[in-house]
Amino acid sequence: MAVLKKHASFEGVKGPLLTIVMDGVGLSKNDKVSAVASAHTPTLDMLLAKYPNLSIKAHGTAVGLPSDDDMGNSEVGHNALGSGQVFAQGAKLVSESIKSGKIFASETWGALVEGVKSSGGTLHLLGLFSDGNVHSHIDHLKALIEGARDAQVARVRIHILIDGRDVGETSALDYICPFEEYLQTLRSPSFDVAIASGGGRMTITMDRYEANWDMVALGWQTHVLGEGRTFASAEEAVKTYREELHCIDQDLPPFVIAKDGKPLGTIEDGDSVIFFNFRGDRSIEISKAFEGDDRFCAFDRRRVPKVLYAGMLEYDGDLHIPSRFLVNPPEITHTMSEYLVDTGIPQLAISETQKYGHVTYFWNGNKSGKFSEELETYIEIPSDVVPFEQRPWMKCAEITDKLIECLESGKYKYLRVNFPNGDMVGHTGSFLATECSMEALDLQLARILKVVDRLQGAALITADHGNADEMYEVDKKTGEPKCNKDGSFKAKTSHTLNPVPFIIYDNYTADRYTVKESEGYGLSNVAATTVQMLGYEAPAMWDASMIELK
C-alpha cells in the first residue's frame, strides 16, 4: 500500500484542492509573438500579479527528454505532473536502444526481418516524418532503414505522415528533398527502398482518443490499399497540393506514389509493418486497425493483409497495444493517483476528448483504467470534430460547467482539469484564433476561482508545455519574428522551449507556508507540492515540493 503520511502540523486546505492545466500556455519573453500576452486575460493577469507564482521547466531533461533543445509535450508533461518524478522518455529510450544496438538484437526486430525475407515480402515503415522529437524522429527512421539493409531485407517502403505541427508549418520539402537524396545513396540492385504514400498528420492516420476514426480509415485506404490520388513523388504531391489548396503541411490530403500506373507500396500478405512513432496517443488506433480481428468495427478495412505488425514502443501497457514492439517503454511507478487512492482520498479527472487521456492515462504513468473505481471519477466531455481555429473556445465552458458541479458536490478532495485550448488552437498557427482561445479560457478561470473561494479551497494553476506563447517563428539573432515573402509573420505551430507558470491560488491557508524560490523546478515538483497542500508528506522518491510549511 502506497499510503501518504499525514503532516504533523498542517491539516491542509479546508475545501477541495484543484489542479488546472492550461495546456500549451507558456511564458514568453517576447510579447510580439505571444497570443497569451496579447489576449485580454484579466483573470490570468491578476493571478500572476497578486498570487505566489513560479516559472518552471516543462521541456528537455526536466521531463525526461534527451536534451534541453527538445520541446516538451503533453505526454511527458502529464507523466511528470502525475508521477512527481522524471523518467527517461520515448525519444531518449529509442535513441539509446539504437545506439547500443539492442533494437536490432530484439526478438521483435528479428521476427519482422525474417518474416519478409522468408515470404519475399516488403518491410513497411509508417510514421510521423520530421525531427520534431515529440512523436518521432527522422533519425530513428533512417536507423531502421539502414538496419533493414544490413539485415539483407530486399524491399522497404516508407509511408510518411507530414508534420508541420511540431516543426515549421510549411517545412515538408525541407525533409522530403534531402531524404530522397539519402535514399538514393542506399539503393542497390539488392536493396529497393522508396516512399510509397503519405499525407498530413491531421488528415490521415494519427487520430487519438477515438475522436475521429475517419482519419484512420483514410490512412488505411492510403497506406494499405494504395487508393487515392497518385503522384510520381512525394515532392510533386506536396507542391501540387500547396498550389491547389494553399494549406499548411499538417492538413495536406493523402497521396499515393505510383509507378507505371500502379501504387508503389501497398501492404500485402507476408509483409511486416513498423509504426515508428514512439509516443502513444496517436499510435493506438492505427495499431488496433492492423491487429484487430474480425470483431474490429471502427471502420470497414475491406482488405486485411496478414502481416507482422510492431510499434516502436508499446503504446498502451495495460491493454498491450501493440502486441509486438521494438523498445520497452519507461516503467512509471509511485504515481500521485496511486498514493491518493491508497490514502483514501477521492479524486476527479476531467477534460474534453482531445486531452482526456492526458489527465487519466498519462497522468497515471501510462496506465489504462483506474486505481480505484470507488475513489476515482473520470469525466470526458466529447470534443467537436471541427478545425480548432473555427471554434477556438473548444469545450472550455462545458468542462467548467461540469467541473463546478463536481466541486460543489463535496465528493472530491482533489480534482484535476485540463483545458486544451492553448495547445490545440495554438497548433493551427492562427494568432487571432489562439488569442480568442486564451480569452475563452480566462473567462472560465474566473468562474472556477469564485467557486474555489466559496468552498474555502485552493487551486494550483500550471501548464504542461508552451505553445500559444510563441505563435511566430523567431530569428534567434535579432529576436524579431521571421517574415514570409509577402511581409507577414511566419506562423509557428509547434511547442516551445519556454517555461510555464505555476500559480498557487489560496485565500485561506496561504499564511501557513511560503513558496521556495528556485530556478531548478520543473513539472515533476508539482506532485509533492500538491500532497503538501492536502496536508500530507510527499514520498521520498518524488522531486521536492515548491512550498515550505511554517
Residue of 445, 426, 411 lying closest to 495 (CA atoms): 426
C-alpha to C-alpha distance for 335 and 526, rounded to whole angstroms: 12
Clarify whether 67 is annotated catalytic.
no
Q: φ, ψ for residue 121 (rounded to 5)? A: -90, -165
Where does 218-373 show beta strands of DSSP type E? 230-231, 255-259, 262-263, 272-275, 308-313, 325-327, 347-352
CB atoms within 10 A of CB 510: 16
239 φ/ψ sector (left φ>0, alpha ψ -120 to 50, else beta)? alpha
C-alpha to C-alpha distance for 392 and 231, rounded to whole angstroms: 35
Out of 74, 97, 106, 351, which one is annotated catalytic? 74
Cell numbers given for 309: 505488425
C-alpha to C-alpha distance for 364 and 533, rounded to whole angstroms: 20
C-alpha to C-alpha distance for 186 and 50, rounded to whole angstroms: 60
> Where do runs of H (alpha helix) occur along 334-460?
336-342, 353-357, 396-409, 421-424, 431-454
Residue labelled with grid coordinates 491557508: 509
C-alpha to C-alpha distance for 529 and 537, rounded to whole angstroms: 9
C-alpha to C-alpha distance for 106 and 16, rounded to whole angstroms: 48
Is the bond preceding residue 322 a cis peptide, omega within 30 degrees? Answer: yes
The torsion of the CA quartet 390, 396, 401, 404, rounded to 10 degrees, works out to -170
Active site residues: 74
